[in-house]
Amino acid sequence: MGEAKKRGTPQERAEQARARLDALRPAQLVCGACKTAFTTFDAIPAPDLRGIDAVFGGQCPSCGNDVLIFKGEPQAVADAMLAWEKMMGADAKLGYQSDDGRHIAFEDKGEELH
């Protein structure tokens, strides 16, 4: 009882959001450094990036490089990538901005680089 198919319950909304994220999720990430493709990566919250639908990132299992991709409007993705590059600098490690503006490094998600 009570199993009527209602629309828009919080749980269903959460499932829809997850389904949307799953739809955006690529089958694999490819490391820019060694071209290794891998499938173990996470969706990254990016609430402040306008025009960006989703961000996915993970660590290359071969060389330890952090790989990050943006999904969204092409122009927004290009802008986000440029902004990210600037933020990273030449040899900074990848990371992301949390809700309160802190920079979160990926380091604690896997082995140390090198």
Q: Which residues sit opposite 72 in a β-bridge?
A: 52
Distance CA 13, CA 63 (A): 38
Pick between residue 29 and residue 49 the one whose CB is nearest to Zn ion: 29
Range list of β-strands (E), 1-114:
29-30, 37-38, 42-44, 52-59, 66-72, 95-97, 103-105
Distance CA 18, CA 83 (A): 27
In the list 34, 37, 83, 105, the residue contacting Zn ion (rule: CB under 5 A) is: 34
Pick between residue 58 and residue 72 the one whose CB is nearest to Zn ion: 58
Q: Per-residue contact track with Zn ion, 41 to 80, x per CB under 5 A?
A: -------------------x-xx-x---------------
| Only segment of 36-44, 79-87, 89-97, 102-110 that touches Zn ion (CB under 5 A) | 36-44
- Do 67 and 30 meet the contact criterion of CB atoms below 8 Å apart? yes
Closest alpha carbon to 57 in 91, 84, 7, 94: 94
In the list 33, 37, 81, 82, the residue contacting Zn ion (rule: CB under 5 A) is: 33
> Residue 26 CB, nearest distance to Zn ion (Å)?
16
Residues that bind Zn ion (CB under 5 A): 31, 33-34, 36, 60, 62-63, 65
